[in-house]
Chains A and B, each alone.
Chain A
């Protein structure tokens, strides 16, 4: 692999950009691998990369039924943060954020990680107190978080709705400065290129249709490109998790598939240099501006089980009214595109990076709508779990059987109702 550098850009630029080598190989599948990863989203690709890089396991295939980044990895609103409260999540998301901080260098690929800050607004004393509890817990865990007064918020983002007769009056905010956004496609491509360079085979248009077991152990998978053998198989298929789990014989999982929409506006001149979010009785809303200028925003999930990658109108209007509530200046901006992805919503809103009851089969799922930020950490921990047949200290609570033991990692306190997380 030729390394990307300022020099390579100039050189290739002078040659009319005709001689860039392809970013990752496009091999035919071999008959057998040491490890098969199902799902070429961010998590599957990151897992393959860290298997090769951290554990020296390079005889790895990533099998993707469509194309890289065609799932949630290429559909998300790209927010990266580690402002979590519950044991099990705190250390994991902070570990992931630390990996983000060195990711472009590590992958030799500009993932455009921008630590522009993540500002969580509050409108009532009760919200202030709940967030104070969360952000104080973060600080005790060594995660950065600051409390801003209304005036400080106003100084930082002057064009929010500060009207005193606003339906919800901004009282202040909590800021995680190290949080921000990254370019989702670049993350997928960067992991794919770096993994391929270390020997990983990335095989697109290859759907896993079934599992092959021998004496209760996994020994391979059937795919639309034939049978492929491996003693270890890791699943990272996000919204399709239950479908494959049934085929593997894992039975029902603590997961429901729901859809989440995202929206992007026509490009604007620089307008917002941080991520602004809020969740109150009125709604749930998050917004940032992409480097191309589009306002990227979203809100709640549609709220009923779905495998249709298309959104429904009520959330569209909800999100639009949330936008107007907080940023009336957006009123005349046109929405350019809108889409949806299928999320693996878990029963407590927290993920699984876990062994399963089938030896040789590992599960990475339950990301709800927060798995983009987890991409490097998830791959790192899943690779460890697969390589050692045991979880790392950091993901040891994110087990599939935790509900059986009465353990919930429930950030929002909503209980076992996936639509509410």
Chain B
């Protein structure tokens, strides 16, 4: 079992997460119509044996997307950070959501979602 130290939830088994693949890719702006740029971002992978930046979605936890640095040979995880710290900070704030900040949180996670869509993340 990989153990991922989620910045929001703490150390959890990787079976709580969904794998979101290579996080080192910079996707072109949505307005970019260059075929080659999209081809490279969508289809080509560095696929290193060693340090790999990857996305994991804490589906059965805080539902945040994380950026994990993991070695693909030893499976050692060297860092875990939030992909969208702004959205997460809304989340982490008060457990008891008041009407006001509940609205804020959901609009923040909406931005997170549309960012993910732009990043081509599969959920």
Which A residues lie at the B interface, using CB under 8 A? 242-243, 251-257, 303-308, 312-314, 347, 403-404, 415-420
Contact = CB atoms under 8 A, between A and B. Distances in A.
A253 B44 contact: yes
A304 B19 contact: yes
Contacts of B39: 403-404
Given A304-B54, A305-B52, A305-B72, A419 B19 contact: yes
Contacts of A313: 1
Given A254-B44, A307-B72, A403-B39, A312 B52 contact: no
8 contacts: A254-B43, A254-B44, A254-B45, A256-B47, A304-B70, A403-B43, A416-B42, A419-B19
Contacts of B79: none
A253 B73 contact: no
B93 interface: no
Given A306-B72, A308-B73, A308-B75, A252 B47 contact: yes
B75 A417 contact: no
Contacts of A242: 45-48
A253 B39 CA distance: 11
B122 interface: yes
Contact of B74 (A308, A312, A417): A308
A250 B53 CA distance: 21
Nearest to A304: B19
Contact of B45 (A252, A304, A420): A252
B43 to A, nearest CB: 4
B49 A243 contact: yes
A253 B52 CA distance: 16
Nearest to A318: B15
Contacts of B21: 256, 305, 417-419
Nearest to B42: A416
Contacts of A243: 49
Nearest to A305: B72
A1 B56 CA distance: 55
Interface string B12-35: 011100010110000000000000
Contacts of B48: 242
Contacts of A420: 122
B59 interface: no
Contacts of B15: 314
Given A303-B19, A305-B54, A251 B73 contact: no
Nearest to A241: B47
A314 B54 contact: no
Given A252-B45, A305-B47, A307-B73, 11 more contacts: A251-B44, A254-B43, A256-B45, A256-B47, A257-B47, A305-B21, A305-B54, A308-B72, A312-B14, A403-B43, A404-B43
Nearest to A240: B49
Contacts of A416: 42-43
A265 B45 CA distance: 37
Contacts of A255: 45, 47
Contacts of B14: 304, 312, 314
Given A252-B44, A254-B43, A308-B75, A417 B49 contact: no
B93 to A, nearest CB: 31
A306 B75 contact: yes
Contacts of A314: 1, 13-15
A312 B47 CA distance: 20
Residue among A256, A305, A404 with most chain B CB within 10 A: A305
B2 interface: yes
B98 to A, nearest CB: 38
A312 B1 CA distance: 6
Contacts of B45: 242, 252-256
Contacts of B54: 304-305
Interface string B60-95: 000000000010111100000000000000000000
Contacts of A251: 44
Contacts of A305: 21-22, 47, 52, 54, 72
B79 to A, nearest CB: 16
Nearest to B75: A308
A118 B68 CA distance: 40
Contacts of A256: 21-22, 45, 47
Contacts of B42: 403, 416
A416 B15 CA distance: 22
A29 to B, nearest CB: 25
B43 A347 contact: yes
A253 B47 contact: yes
Contacts of B13: 314
Nearest to A312: B1
Contacts of B75: 306, 308
Among all A-B residue pairs, the 8 with the closest Cβ atoms: A242-B47, A252-B44, A403-B43, A307-B49, A314-B15, A254-B43, A304-B19, A307-B73
Contacts of A404: 39, 43
A3 B70 CA distance: 51
